[in-house]
Amino acid sequence: MDAEGKRNPTWTRDELILTLDFYVQCQGNPPAKDSKPIKELSDLLNGLGNASNKISDKFRNINGVYMKIMNFRRFDPQYASKGAVGLSRGGKGDEEVWNEFINRPLVLKAVASSIRANLSQEPETQEQLSEELEIAEAEEGHILTRIHLFRERNRELVKKKKADTLKRTGSLSCEVCSFDFAKAYGVRGEGFAEVHHTKPLHTLQPGTKTKLEDLAVLCANCHRMVHAKKPWLEIIELKNMLEK
């Protein structure tokens, strides 16, 4: 807390993913609190937060980061079986991130790597795009959610994808439900459709180009359903849901 008794912000999913990845890489045995790796993780998490989050000098400091690492130990069966419980105090997000990623260490590593890589992205990619619509933050965290939304709203890419789809198929029918705005609304609906970026979020590395085959044409309803809740749905999953 700071001098006025205010608490630092709740740990974000991005911060928890990076910390869990550190925990897994250490196999549940983190180095000493005053070690270089702990200091580097603290510095990384400080860089992740923006100025408005840092209400005190204790924001994600070494002590707080070390405690969060040890919070994860309470879910670790290799320690629970020995009667060790780790630090019991922690947030709800700790357990959610643990359950989602602990049995997918390679995905966890890839997601953490992608978060780190995208921290240096240009400001325009860091817009609060997910707040414009009813879009749930992806399980990979807020940073990669923003990167995903920015890519699928790239006007030039959207234009190219629509043109390519019209040339190949003659329409902009939704790839999930086949709804066609032009057929439903006539001239007013011509050229209208949304474009969804289908690549897994943990593959979104800076500098990689989005290919037309990475995009899917969807109607507004199906696009919202893809992003409505965690985890986001694959195109095939939404198709199967409609067919039931």
From CA 223, how far away is CA 196, in angstroms rounded? 7
Domains in the chain: how many in total? 2
Domain that holds residue 158: 145-243
* Average pLDDT of span 9-20: 91
Q: How confident is the model at residue 3 (pLDDT cuts 50, 70, 90)?
A: very low
Outline where 49-104 has alpha helix (H). 62-71, 77-80, 92-101
Q: Same structural domain for residues 92 and 169?
A: no
Residues 91 and 175 in one domain: no
Query: pLDDT tens digits, residue range 34-86?
Result: 999 999 999 898 877 653 454 556 778 899 899 999 999 889 988 766 665 55
In a domain, 140, yes or no: no
Same domain, 36 and 92: yes
| One domain for residues 163 and 236 | yes
Tell me if 86 is assigned to some domain: yes
CA nearest to 235, candidates 163, 167, 152? 152
Predicted pLDDT of residue 191: 93
> CA-to-CA distance for 216 and 213, rounded, in angstroms?
7
Write out the H or E segment, with its range, that includes residue 169. helix 155-169
Which among 103, 137, 155 is the end of a domain?
103
- Phi/psi region, residue 141 (left: phi>0; alpha: psi -120 to 50; beta: rest), is left
pLDDT digits (tens, 9 = 90+) for 162-173: 999 999 999 999
- Please give the average per-residue pLDDT across 136-158, as a whole number: 87
**Domain membership flag for residue 64:** yes
Question: Considering 53, 78, 103, which residue would you say is the last residue of a domain?
Answer: 103
In a domain, 59, yes or no: yes
Residue at 119 is within a domain: no
Residues 95 and 172 in one domain: no
Is the domain of 96 the same as that of 149?
Answer: no
